[in-house]
Chain A
């Protein structure tokens, strides 16, 4: 008989959030606030500011896919799958619109 917990697929493990850089989202937040505030004065910057907001989750996924490659392969692959999904949408968006 063993005390080992049952392996539930979505069960949280200590390493599950380890791959996410804790600084990236707060940094992304403040850069977004600054750049979006600039668009109130310079509306032409709106495309770039909105682009930054869209880029933050992508950068995080990319970071996790690379950083967790050796330490947590499952997390790395999961992030890679999400990125591949976004890449497919990026390349076929013209067909969907």
Chain B
């Protein structure tokens, strides 16, 4: 089983490095669907808890690389992180209390939104601009999503920092990766206190992500991101539909 979990982490790390979209979007549904085949069923809350450590690993690997390139805005990151930490704690609290069906539905919507963004391409701004007053509440919202769904920054945080914060896209991605580490620490603390965090599974996911992220940067130069985007988008849509089916149609799913 641990090797399968390691493979999930590897996949998340590689896709994260190539497409900028890995972490929870891969880890949560993959754990949900794969672990039952090994006689180790896992609830979506437990999968989200494990994913927080995967997100931390993405943050660790990404920050190490972006620091070398000088793309991280540490001060901005630290100034914004209290909002994402606050949001993350609220999201984690919600994640522990909301019915699994609700969490799975929000997750499915996020997967469909991610697939749409992958296919359409994110709207992005390259020029420095004055930040909007909406940045703090929007960062808090991105924190809520990370706590509730075990996702990193790629889906919500980067558009917020780029479009509302006026930070050029490459620095927004790097700073978001940096912030997600701190946010995931807070989220993981809440989930571990609830007893939902399986440390052995989390360690295997994190190892896979760290190794996959390293390897992914090498593969990124050799693989056509365009084809991979299309394939991954279809996979996200399929996963979203399967999640909805599992929680809304299959009887007995809690």
On A, residues with C-beta under 8 Å from B are 8-13, 16-17, 19-20, 22, 25-26, 28-29, 32-33, 36-37, 39-40, 43, 45-47, 49-50, 53-54, 56-58, 61, 64, 72, 74-75, 78-79, 81-82, 84-86, 89-90, 93-94, 96-97
CB neighbours (8 Å) of A43 from chain B are 200, 203
Known: A10-B73, A39-B200, A46-B203. A54 touches B188 (CB 8 A): yes
- Distance of A14 from chain B, by nearest CB (Å): 10
**A32-B167 Cα distance, complex, nearest whole Å:** 30
Q: Which residues in A have their C-beta under 8 angstroms from that of B86? A: 85
A29-B210, A36-B204, A96-B92 are known; give 15 further A-B pairs, CB within 8 A: A16-B76, A17-B70, A20-B74, A29-B60, A29-B61, A36-B207, A50-B202, A54-B188, A57-B181, A81-B78, A82-B78, A86-B186, A89-B85, A94-B193, A96-B193
Which of the segments B51-59, B103-111, B117-125 contacts the partner chain? B51-59
Give the complex CA separation of A72 and B73 in angstroms: 14
* Contact B206–A75 (Cβ < 8 Å): no
Which residues from chain B sit less than 8 Å from chain A, CB to CB?
2, 6, 53, 56-57, 59-61, 63-64, 67-68, 70, 72-76, 78-79, 81-82, 85-86, 89, 92-93, 96, 128-131, 165-167, 171, 181-182, 185-186, 188-195, 199-200, 202-204, 206-207, 210-211
A50-B204 Cα distance, complex, nearest whole Å: 10
Residues in B whose Cβ lies below 8 Å from that of A93: 189-190, 192-193
A18 nearest CB across to chain B (Å): 8
Q: Are A36 and B189 in contact (CB under 8 A)?
A: no
Q: When the two chains form the complex, which single residue of B6, B190, B207, B210 contacts A96, counting CB atoms closer than 8 Å?
A: B190
| A85 and B81 contact, Cβ closer than 8 Å, known pairs A16-B73, A36-B203 | yes
CB neighbours (8 Å) of B81 from chain A are: 81-82, 85
Cβ 8 A contact of B60, one of A45, A56, A72, A82: A56
